[in-house]
Chains A and B, each alone.
Chain A
Amino acid sequence: MSATIHLTLKVWRQKNASSEGRWVLYEAKNISTDMSFLEMLDAVNERLVLKGEDPIAFDHDCREGICGMCSLVINGQAHGPQKAATTCQIYMRDFKDGATVTVEPFRARAFPVLKDLVVDRSAFDRVMAAGGYISVNTGSAVEANTILIPKDKAEAAMDAAACIGCGACVAACPNASAMLFVSAKISHFALLPQGLPERERRVLAMRKAMDAEGFGNCSNEAECEAVCPKEIKLNHIARLNREFLRASILKK
């Protein structure tokens, strides 16, 4: 049932990448519990704009949990209190009347803040460019059903491919490691016959790019798995490590 609540927001404000940030308190009054978290921020922002103040900048797009654009840390948790949900899928019914809610950006060396809650995740694109693909030009594909893939393999590949590249795994990791993100792509292709010709090259190149971007190492904290909105599992990291070891040994 719908109700109305009042919250205090403690929000990270930062003018741009080179300025210092600070915490600012905002009152969020008369918030319907049917609103999504982002709709609540919209409402706060509308009021700020009418007062002539700079509204809180945050990233969002599809608002249905698939584009990976939204990116907040709410009360210390990447993507907020719900399991298997992105920030845009958080609803105000999860918050208590009168509570203070902290809202801050994803924090990682490889994700510099651009403004307020908006960070630059282009490091992920560069890691993908290093090897997150199968090299096949348009037009040179064989008839689709000549590649047979067992149903369970296809399902397992899909589990990994479901990654939305939001970066919550990095934000939650004490080392700001991108291992879950990278391993999801490695796993997706390692499980499919199409991925085999570039198997060794891919894992070596993507790992190298990941390190070059300033992401940390994995120390098995499992925080990434806990916050992943698509429930990408740690076993993909284990597969990445095996693939990496194998490729390193085979490397001429």
Chain B
Amino acid sequence: MKLDSKIPEGPLEGKWDRHRFNLKLVNPANKRKFEIIVVGTGLAGSSAAASLAELGYNVKVFCIQDSPRRAHSIAAQGGINAAKNYPNDGDSVRRLFYDTIKGGDFRSREANVYRLAQISNSIIDQCVAQGVPFAREYGGTLANRSFGGAQVSRTFYARGQTGQQLLLGAYSALMRQVALGRVQIFARREMLDLVLVDGAARGIVARNLVTGKLESHSAHAVVLCTGGYGNMFYLSTNAASSNVTASWRAHKKGALFANPCFTQIHPTCIPVSGDTQSKLTLMSESLRNDGRVWVPKKKGDARPPGQIPEGERDYYLERKYPTFGNLVPRDVASRNAKQVIDEGCGVGPTKLAVYLDFAEAIQRQGLPAIREKYGNLFDMYRHITSEDPYRVPMRIYPAVHYTMGGLWVDYDLMTTIPGLFCLGEANFSDHGANRLGASALMQGLADGYFVAPYTVGGYLAGTKLGKVEATHPNFRESESAVSERTMKLLSVKGARTATDFHKQLGSLLWDKCGMSRNEKGLKEALSKIPEIREEFWRNVTVTGENGEFNQVLERAGRVADYLEFAELLLKDALHRNESCGGHFREESQTPDNEAKRDDTHFCYVAAWEFMGVGQEPVLHKEPLTFESVPLSQRSYR
């Protein structure tokens, strides 16, 4: 298989324009003859489905929750980037592009990232027109703030609920299309297989989570917008139903999986408090604009934070990174927290935390100003910990948050399966080895509002697709394979729950493939996964039946997929013997313990081909070339 990224020729600035012109158009009268399936209703899915429906296509939308409005994009707090340069502080499309390439540690495609930066401004226009209540200045113009790793103020926000407001905007556009009859919503459905006919994606098999029945749907193209796989680690900031199943089943049908080891560990989360915890809650990194990160200088210092004098505190980010201070990118902030904790300076009952302190900001700006900016986040912290962050510093610890890896896509966001597109967090395309804050919302909406509507159309106009109904034998074949797997899960009747296996897998991955990784640990984890998987299929217990609402069965199916996918993630991490962004290999660091890239050997996208469960996957390399931003070692000092 030869990977063709289909990056258009010519100067960077004009690539997208020329490409849009070169894409074939579907005759307006013919659009209604095409059916498109969109799976997932986060920012990417909702915006793509609404925009495709506006163009006249018939769209079927599937979501796992009870309503499209609940997808996990809703939980994004901090904001969305755009190169508007409203504050006149030196921002531009080029700077947003540059920051994203550099922030991603030179493991993303220049052409894709440049397009993302170009589109960013139209996203803000679109969202404002939909009535998204962004924060405003007194003069009525839009407000901006600086955000994680950026030296300009380019982040637009709606209090600490930006993801919610953007998603409700996209959801409202989607519901308008429902009313107009161009979108059909299938809620409480889980995609369990992708169906190919003559090598092209022609539909899906989904389980109706209320009745347990399998439903087949045919289409001319399938758009996966099913998010990331951070939940594989068991504890993460993801919602409970976020999972890898849709992507993984597509991978098993031939879509290559790119850079699975690029996972983002977010530095500002509420620490783990016990072994019954089900998730970790993110505290927006916008807090790092005003909060100062510190630990006691003395190891094992058990005094309450208020009793530790200034001189005995180590503001380690400000000390080590005077230029960026508390605003260093996420991977750098997380690794440094781990480092001070490993050295014995952690705080709180578990010692697995550092302080994020607002005392100075409250003194300088006043309590009302801090409350206005972060009130809901402070409330959230208080709910969970029963501590008041206005009085005592927050305790924070890194947690799995986002996955930069995902299905490999070309410039059109099409996977290696013709007709299967992949948008948002589910693809690998724009963030390289580390995503900058406030860029996930930007990418999801760029893909959905402004890229897929052109490129999906280009595919449909330029491809001869025969008539395929859901009665086609390939759908029957998929349905029986899915049923067989379900019946197998129900028939084991072992002694351990799927959750128990999930916890075991999660803690193994967190230990061996979390914030820092080494060859020995990765090999150890790789040797254990097949054992856990074997025990799972011999000893899992799933109650109830297939033909009913069965949350135990849903969960077991997802854990079974994690147990296959984990091996690929570990293999990718093992093969990439360099550090870059969120992937920190202990064997590859600078004298200052920073991530050290190896551009001679690893300046490529690793795209893996599925060869069977437990079989060695085949690695395909897409070389990355940097023409506009010269390769350089990141430095935030």
C-alpha spacing A50/B64, complex, angstroms: 26
A219 an interface residue at 8 Å Cβ cutoff? no
Say how far A33's CB is from chain B's closest CB, in angstroms: 9
Say how far B385's CB is from chain A's closest CB, in angstroms: 9
- Chain A, residues 118-145, CB within 8 Å of chain B (1/0): the string is 1011101100111011111111111111
Contact A192 B131 (CB under 8 A): yes
Contact A2 B274 (CB under 8 A): yes
- A63-B279, A118-B549, A125-B185 known; A49 vs B543 contact (CB < 8 Å): yes
C-alpha spacing A145/B200, complex, angstroms: 43
Contact residues in A for B453 (Cβ distance below 8 Å): 138
In the complex, which residues 81-122 of chain B have their Cβ closer than 8 Å to any Cβ of chain A?
84, 86, 122
Contact B67 A165 (CB under 8 A): yes
B318 an interface residue at 8 Å Cβ cutoff? no
- Chain A, residues 84-96, CB within 8 Å of chain B (1/0): the string is 1100010101000
- Chain A, residues 4-48, CB within 8 Å of chain B (1/0): the string is 000000000001100000000000000010111011001100101
Contact residues in A for B176 (Cβ distance below 8 Å): 129, 133, 135
Contact residues in B for A138 (Cβ distance below 8 Å): 47, 50-51, 54, 126, 173, 449-450, 453
- Chain A, residues 193-211, CB within 8 Å of chain B (1/0): the string is 0110000000000000000
Say how far A122's CB is from chain B's closest CB, in angstroms: 7
A151 an interface residue at 8 Å Cβ cutoff? yes
- A125-B185, A132-B175 known; A188 vs B164 contact (CB < 8 Å): no
In the complex, which residues 311-329 of chain B have their Cβ closer than 8 Å to any Cβ of chain A?
none
| B545 to chain A: closest residue by CB | A54
Question: Of A32, A61, A89, which one neighbours B65 at CB under 8 angstroms?
Answer: A61
Interface-side segment among A64-72, A220-228, A239-247: A64-72
A162 an interface residue at 8 Å Cβ cutoff? yes
A59 an interface residue at 8 Å Cβ cutoff? yes
Contact B74 A57 (CB under 8 A): no
B192 an interface residue at 8 Å Cβ cutoff? no
- A91-B386, A129-B178, A154-B134 known; A121 vs B164 contact (CB < 8 Å): no
Contact A165 B69 (CB under 8 A): yes
Contact A57 B551 (CB under 8 A): yes
B21 an interface residue at 8 Å Cβ cutoff? no
Question: Of B140, B175, B241, B273, which one neighbours A149 at CB under 8 angstroms?
Answer: B140
Interface-side segment among B362-370, B376-384, B603-611: B376-384
In the complex, which residues 603-623 of chain B have their Cβ closer than 8 Å to any Cβ of chain A?
none
Contact residues in B for A154 (Cβ distance below 8 Å): 133-136
C-alpha spacing A134/B548, complex, angstroms: 38
Contacts between chains A and B (CB distance < 8 A), count:
221
- A62-B72, A154-B136, A158-B158 known; A144 vs B497 contact (CB < 8 Å): no
C-alpha spacing A69/B198, complex, angstroms: 40
C-alpha spacing A88/B211, complex, angstroms: 26
Contact B173 A49 (CB under 8 A): no
B142 an interface residue at 8 Å Cβ cutoff? yes
Contact A67 B274 (CB under 8 A): no
C-alpha spacing A140/B138, complex, angstroms: 27
Say how far B280's CB is from chain A's closest CB, in angstroms: 9
Say how far A236's CB is from chain B's closest CB, in angstroms: 14
Contact B161 A64 (CB under 8 A): no
- A67-B65, A134-B129, A138-B54 known; A52 vs B175 contact (CB < 8 Å): no
Question: Of B65, B122, B541, which one neighbours A50 at CB under 8 angstroms?
Answer: B541
Contact B74 A49 (CB under 8 A): no
C-alpha spacing A165/B175, complex, angstroms: 14
A249 an interface residue at 8 Å Cβ cutoff? no
A148 an interface residue at 8 Å Cβ cutoff? yes
Question: Of A36, A85, A134, A149, which one neighbours B278 at CB under 8 angstroms?
Answer: A36
Contact residues in A for B548 (Cβ distance below 8 Å): 15-16, 115
Contact A157 B75 (CB under 8 A): no
Question: Of A53, A68, A133, A134, which one neighbours B70 at CB under 8 angstroms?
Answer: A68
Contact A158 B133 (CB under 8 A): yes
Say how far A154's CB is from chain B's closest CB, in angstroms: 4
Say how far A10's CB is from chain B's closest CB, in angstroms: 21
A101 an interface residue at 8 Å Cβ cutoff? no
Question: Of A93, A132, A149, which one neighbours B136 at CB under 8 angstroms?
Answer: A149
Say how far B514's CB is from chain A's closest CB, in angstroms: 21
- A35-B274, A63-B278 known; A121 vs B130 contact (CB < 8 Å): no
Say how far B227's CB is from chain A's closest CB, in angstroms: 12
Contact residues in A for B67 (Cβ distance below 8 Å): 121-122, 124-125, 165
Contact A150 B136 (CB under 8 A): yes
Contact residues in A for B68 (Cβ distance below 8 Å): 125
C-alpha spacing A133/B71, complex, angstroms: 18
Contact residues in B for A60 (Cβ distance below 8 Å): 240
C-alpha spacing A189/B171, complex, angstroms: 15
Say how far A44's CB is from chain B's closest CB, in angstroms: 11
Contact B141 A148 (CB under 8 A): yes
Contact A151 B70 (CB under 8 A): no
A82 an interface residue at 8 Å Cβ cutoff? yes
C-alpha spacing A129/B179, complex, angstroms: 5
A234 an interface residue at 8 Å Cβ cutoff? no
- A52-B541, A151-B138 known; A122 vs B50 contact (CB < 8 Å): no
Contact residues in B for A151 (Cβ distance below 8 Å): 136-138, 140
- Chain B, residues 542-564, CB within 8 Å of chain A (1/0): the string is 01100011011000000000000
Q: Which of A55, A84, A118, A161 is packed against the most chain B CB atoms within 10 Å?
A: A161
C-alpha spacing A124/B67, complex, angstroms: 9
| B282 to chain A: closest residue by CB | A64
A114 an interface residue at 8 Å Cβ cutoff? yes
A250 an interface residue at 8 Å Cβ cutoff? no
Contact residues in B for A136 (Cβ distance below 8 Å): 126, 129-130, 173
- Chain B, residues 176-190, CB within 8 Å of chain A (1/0): the string is 101100000101000
B125 an interface residue at 8 Å Cβ cutoff? yes
Q: Which of B86, B136, B165, B552 is packed against the most chain A CB atoms within 10 Å?
A: B136
| A135 to chain B: closest residue by CB | B176
Question: Of A35, A49, A85, A121, which one neighbours B66 at CB under 8 angstroms?
Answer: A121
C-alpha spacing A43/B185, complex, angstroms: 33
B527 an interface residue at 8 Å Cβ cutoff? no
C-alpha spacing A247/B130, complex, angstroms: 21
CB<8 Å pairs between A and B, sample of 11: A54-B544, A55-B552, A62-B72, A69-B70, A121-B67, A139-B122, A141-B125, A141-B126, A145-B84, A147-B128, A154-B134
Given A61-B241, A165-B67, 5 more contacts at CB 8 Å?
Answer: A62-B240, A66-B74, A125-B68, A128-B175, A138-B50
Interface of B toward A, CB cutoff 8 Å: 47, 50-51, 54, 65-72, 74-75, 84, 86, 122, 124-131, 133-142, 158-159, 161, 164-165, 168, 171-173, 175-176, 178-179, 185, 187, 210, 239-241, 273-274, 276-279, 281-282, 379-380, 383-384, 386, 449-450, 453, 495, 497, 499-500, 541, 543-544, 548-549, 551-552
The 4 closest A-B pairs by CB, nearest first: A148-B140, A141-B129, A133-B172, A141-B125
